[in-house]
Amino acid sequence: MQTLTQTLTKQAVPDSLSQLILRLADCSKDISQAVRHGALAGVLGATEQENVQGETQKKLDVITNDMLKDALKAEGNVRGLASEEEDYVVEVNKQGEFLVCFDPLDGSSNIDINSLVGTIFSILPAQDGELTEASFLQNGRQQLTAGYVLYGPSTMMALTTGQGTQLYTLNPDTNEFLLTDEAVNISKDTAEFAINMSNQRFWEAPMQTYISELLLGNIGPREKSFNMRWIAAMVGDVHRVLCRGGIFMYPTDNKNPEKPYKLRLMYEANPMALLVEQAGGKASTGYGDILDIAPEEIHQRVAVILGSANEVDACLSYHGLDYSNEPDIA
């Protein structure tokens, strides 16, 4: 099997970008060890702090955020970073050519129950001039690399450099990421959906109708039975979509009118959308492509609908969007 290094070389990824990807991969190996030690290392439980979104930070949120910051500060080609756990962007190296956005431990509510968690990251080109929050506000199609590392029964990485989406598995014997799927291809059709049904009463009418008709199964207008899956960690639910198809949704809701969206654009929605599109799927807010959004601020939230192309189109048709006549470019 090819190593991550060998695959990046084969793809002719520039050396400076490859070096940064490998630095992130090495840090994820250390995070994997921290996660696996769990209660043995005293890293479970919450802190008394909140992040910028008002969410109580878990101990591992803080630990993994610091691990990634230290790794990126040691990398000479990083201009700045932005994290879910940082109020503001952090300058790293004035001469750096890349910006890195990351969620250090997605699904942290799963930590204390020993369920799936992961690290999500996005690499953008650095801009000339002073580093500010505006330097990061590039749409998702500007991403040079997007990926995540899933800490499960095995540690796996999904990665794209714009040449399809690849899956790697960490070999515990050699501590190397090995290529285990060189061209992920999401099936266009599916009978699986992932959504937090406890929020159903808060959704917009189009999503209410769409899910209601899925639940009717083969006696409803879709004339097909669907199964629901929900891990409560975006990284786990999207991984399932990459592996066997499906549709993942965290739609607009009115539970808190001041926060109608859950997922963060820059370090959750954008990297996942690029991974899914590069694997032949689609990613939308319900009203437009995620990757085309012009960001307004670093912690901006958006609605997310992504996965199997035909099922995403079916969902969007309930929102008044019709992609059924678009040419198939996959």
Binding-site entries for substrate = 106-109, 196, 262
Strands, DSSP E only, in 152-297?
Answer: 155-160, 166-171, 176-181, 192-194, 227-228, 247-250, 263-264, 282-284
> At 181, which amino acid appears?
D
Which residues have a Cβ under 8 Å from the Cβ of 224 and sit 6 or more positions away? 191, 217, 218
Q: Which residues are annotated as a binding site?
A: 84, 103, 105-109, 196, 262, 268
CB contact at 8 A, 283 and 173: no
Q: Which residues are annotated as a binding site for Mg(2+)?
A: 84, 103, 105-106, 268
- DSSP-assigned letter for residue 188: S
Which residues have a Cβ under 8 Å from the Cβ of 161 and sit 6 or more positions away? 8, 11, 13, 17, 21, 144, 145
CB contact at 8 A, 232 and 196: yes
Q: How many helices (H) and strands (E) does the chain have?
A: 7, 17
Complete DSSP assignment for 101-121: EEEEEETGGGGGGT--EEEEE
For 183, the 3-state DSSP assignment is coil
CB atoms closer than 10 angstroms to residue 197: 12
Q: Percent helix, strand, coil in the chain (nearest 5)?
A: 35, 25, 40
Altogether, the residues listed in the chain come to a count of: 330
